[in-house]
Amino acid sequence: MSDFEDFVLLEARDVPLGGPRGMTVHRTLPARRTSLIGGWCFVDHFGPDDLTETGGMQVARHPHTGLATVSWLFEGAITHRDSIGSHALVRPGDVDLMVAGSGITHSEFSTNDTTVLHGVQLWYALPDRVRFREQEFRVHTPVEQRTAHARARVGLGSLRASDDAGGNLTDTSPVITDDALEMAQIDLEAGRGLTIDLDATHEYGVLIDRGTARLRSGDQESTAERTDLIVVPDGADHLEINAGSEEPLRLMFLGGEPLREDIIMWWNFVGRTHEEIVEFRARYQAEIGVELEFAEAPIADIARRRGGLAADAEQFGPFAPHTPQALPAPRLPGGELRSRGRMGRVAR
């Protein structure tokens, strides 16, 4: 495992979501250079997507284990439904947090009155000590912080920043996470600057939604544009961001304490061994009536022991009737799944 000594630019790759009319998402994490920024292990950025031309977000019931999902919208709305009974409307400015723990299923559909959908979906890996904990769903609406030239909404963790006119942006989210994490939307006027205070023991990344950002930390400098995710040098205690002169800048500021664990992430599951992923997949397929019977796909022993699950329990939970058919899991690759960590400058 190696540290990032300077800025590292992760360019997005386009991934189709859904069927022929499904929208395209810009995925930057996981990447070959690294799979983790703090606990953050997955970053999808989508839109602005014209729903008259695409089907929008149409993601039927699907599973997760060992992670939490965070949805954040700039425009449009999504209906969230899950197997612990949550049924919620996610709107711009809301942070939508779902902790999968030992297993959960959920669905996400853009609402009928949404004409443009635009936002991000993020995952963070749960640390081993709590990765089989009880499931949770929560929606929080942070209060917007303003200066003369900048705005911020803090979804997770804390933000301490000042603009180049001396205005301060300071807030702390009441949402509790199992490891310390930061997530905030920051908007900065064209041609203006902002300095963010950092915890030198945390890892940070900046995802650009709009505009161009010039970034500086110590003697390191970089530039990032729309859909880029840039990793901040490790050990930095501040980050200077300047918006280009052509248009306002909008970014997602991400950070967190290092996970210090390698993970195996395949499809929608996060585990620690290949065998765990195989067992998670088999159990999910049995629960939705695909491939195997219950007796042929027992709940993984580690999930039963640490999640307190009975042998005859539904690991991924019941789901509301009269909803679209669950998505089956794809086939596993031929070889053994390998762990992913924070590779730093080792992988190019």
In angstroms, rounded to a whole number, what is the distance separating the alpha carbons of residues 261 and 255? 16
Q: What is the pLDDT of residues 50-90, one digit of tens each?
A: 988 888 888 999 999 999 999 999 999 999 999 999 999 99
Residue 210 forms part of a structural domain: yes
| CATH number of the domain that residue 229 is part of | 2.60.120.10
Residue 102 forms part of a structural domain: yes
In angstroms, rounded to a whole number, what is the distance separating the alpha carbons of residues 222 and 213? 8
Residues 15 and 24: beta-carbon distance below 8 Å = yes
Average pLDDT, integer, range 143-172: 97
Q: What is the pLDDT of residues 241-272, one digit of tens each?
A: 999 999 999 999 999 999 999 899 999 999 99
Residue 227 forms part of a structural domain: yes
Q: What is the pLDDT of residues 112-145, one digit of tens each?
A: 999 999 999 999 999 999 999 999 999 999 999 9
Q: Which domain holds residue 103?
A: 8-256
Residue 320 forms part of a structural domain: no
Q: What is the pLDDT of residues 81-112, one digit of tens each?
A: 999 999 999 999 999 999 999 999 999 999 99
pLDDT for the residue 21: 62
Could you tell me the pTM of the whole model?
0.95
The two beta strands, 264-266 and 213-217, are unpaired
Residue 118 forms part of a structural domain: yes
Residue 303 forms part of a structural domain: no
In angstroms, rounded to a whole number, what is the distance separating the alpha carbons of residues 195 and 163? 6
Neighbour count for residue 290 (Cβ, 10 Å): 12
Residue 309 forms part of a structural domain: no
Residue 346 has pLDDT above 70, yes or no: no
Reduced to 3 states (helix: H, G, I; strand: E, B; else coil), residue 307 is: helix
Domains in the chain, number: 1
Average pLDDT, integer, range 27-48: 94
Residue 281 forms part of a structural domain: no
Residues 188 and 150: beta-carbon distance below 8 Å = yes
pLDDT for the residue 321: 85
pLDDT for the residue 1: 42
